[in-house]
Structure 1
Amino acid sequence: MSNRILVFYGSYRSDRMGIRLAEFIVDRLRRRGDDVELIDAKAINLPMLDRMFKEYPKGEAPAVLEELAKKIRAADGFVFVTGEYNWGVQPGLKNLTDHFLEEWFWRPAAIASYSAGRFAGARAGLLWHGTLSEMGMIVISSIISVGQISQALDEFGKPTGDGGALLERSFPRFADDLAWWADAAKEQRARQNPPF
């Protein structure tokens, strides 16, 4: 069964390596038959959070927020692709995420982290787990962590070397886990309205 999946990426740097991982995930999910869209925080370019989408009077939110809210509400699941900045999360991705709340509810989220070093963004992934859970998402247990990203994925998002081979081996379980929860949540939402 095909799922509507949004892949969120948050780096604003000029030499972005994580976009390779985001493109790899989009490509592999599409190969599985999912309807996938990459949401690039830099391309959307939301202002620093001043007012959440829900805090605008109905019909008065900026068009970019209205459009993104519709996409989030229509999605069956999410993938958050995150680098690690000083043991923390990327500010661009966090800013985009914080503009919304109820729109995220009752859907699964998956975390894919990366870094230039050997820790593969794992500390940022850990922080995102708590954040996404607090925002009403079910965070799946399977994760992807890519260290030395410039050596694991080429400029087109194609796996290379040992890191790329490891990514190829770990992706199916990651995608299966996300699909299982997306299907389960979709079925439950069709059967019963969420409690809030």
Structure 2
Amino acid sequence: MADRILVFYGSYRRDRQGIRLARYIVRALAERGAEVELIDAKALDLPILDRMYKEYPAGEAPPVLEELADKIRGAHAFVFVAGEYNWSVQPGLKNLTDHFLEEWFWRPAAIASYSAGRVGGARSGLAWHGILSEMGMVVISSTILVGGIGHALDEDAQPVGDGGAALDKSFPRFADDLAWWTEAARAQRERRPVPY
């Protein structure tokens, strides 16, 4: 059975650079045999959080939330492509994640961060680690950091220059760690029901 992985991206900017990293990850995971889908917060156009998915009476959640909840529950693992905004997280990606809670539980999550600067979104990645853990995911230790995002991947999400070479070098370990934790979590859920 192929791993079902959702890759989440949250920038709403007109000239988005991080979408290249999201597309790179989708392609690279698919090449390794995973069933991968990009979930783009801008394309979904979710409202600013008013009610979480679970707070709607059954059958009354907006269709976009219902469909996304089904996808999250059906996934084996998640990748969060996290841009850094003012030393912190993107509001679009945070808004998307906050619409859900129990749907995230008991699955591994990986963080791929980026920024225009040279630290590659490290501060955002650090913030996301705590957020995703609190939301019931097991965050893998391997991360991807891409600095100078506009110069590391071209418009077709192909690696270029030193930044692209560094991404290609770090991706296999990142993907291997995610695959290991995905298999472990799936096997444990088959062996024993989750505690809550």
TM-score (norm 1): 0.99
Q: Please state how far the C-alpha of 1:2 moved relative to its aligned partner.
A: 1.8
Which residue is equivalent to 1:66?
A: 66
What is the 5 A alignment of 1:4-23? 4-23=4-23
Counterpart Cα distance in 2 of 1:69 and 1:189: 19
Q: How many angstroms does 1:162 deviate by?
A: 0.8
Match of 1:191 in 2: 191
Please give the secondary structure, in 2, of the residue aligned with 1:82: strand
Instruction: Identify the residue that residue 151 of structure 1 maps to in structure 2.
Output: 151
1:134-149 paired onto structure 2 within 5 Å: 134-149=134-149
Say which SS state the counterpart of residue 182 (structure 1) adopts: helix
After TM superposition, give the deviation of residue 106 of structure 1 in Å: 0.2
> Hey, what does 2:83 align to over in structure 1?
83
State the partner residue of 1:99.
99
Counterpart CA distance in 1 for 2:172 and 2:58 is 41
Deviation at 1:150, TM superposition (A): 1.0
AA matched with 1:190: E
Matched residue, 2:169: 169
Deviation of 1:83 after TM superposition, in Å, equals: 0.6
Deviation at residue 41 of structure 1 after TM alignment = 0.2
Task: Give the ranges of 4+ consecutive aligned residues of structure 1 lying more than 6 Å apart after TM superposition.
Answer: none
- Matched with 2:113 is 113
Separation of aligned partners in 2, 1:114 and 1:53: 29
* 2-structure distance, mates of 1:84, 1:151: 16
What residue number does 1:180 align with? 180
What is the alpha-carbon distance in structure 2 between the residues aligned to residue 60 and residue 182 of structure 1? Answer: 32
Any idea what SS the aligned residue of 2:25 has?
helix
Superposed CA offset, 1:121-156 (max 9, x none): 000000000000000000000000000011110011
Amino acid at match of 2:174: F
Question: TM-score normalised to the size of structure 2?
Answer: 0.99
**What letter is aligned with 2:48?**
M
Distance 1:27 1:50 in 2: 34
Q: Write the deviation string for residues 64-94 of structure 1: whole angstroms up to 9, x where unpaired.
A: 0000000000000000001100011000000
Equivalent residue number for residue 47 of structure 1: 47
Measured in 1, the distance between the counterparts of 2:195 and 2:97 equals 23
Equivalent residue runs for 1:125-140 within 5 Å: 125-140=125-140
Q: How far apart are the structure 1 equivalents of 2:55 and 2:189? A: 25
- Tell me, which stretches of 5 or more residues in structure 2 are unaligned? none
Root mean square deviation, CA, Å: 0.5
Q: Number of aligned pairs?
A: 196
Identical aligned residues as a percent: 74
Partner of 1:122: 122
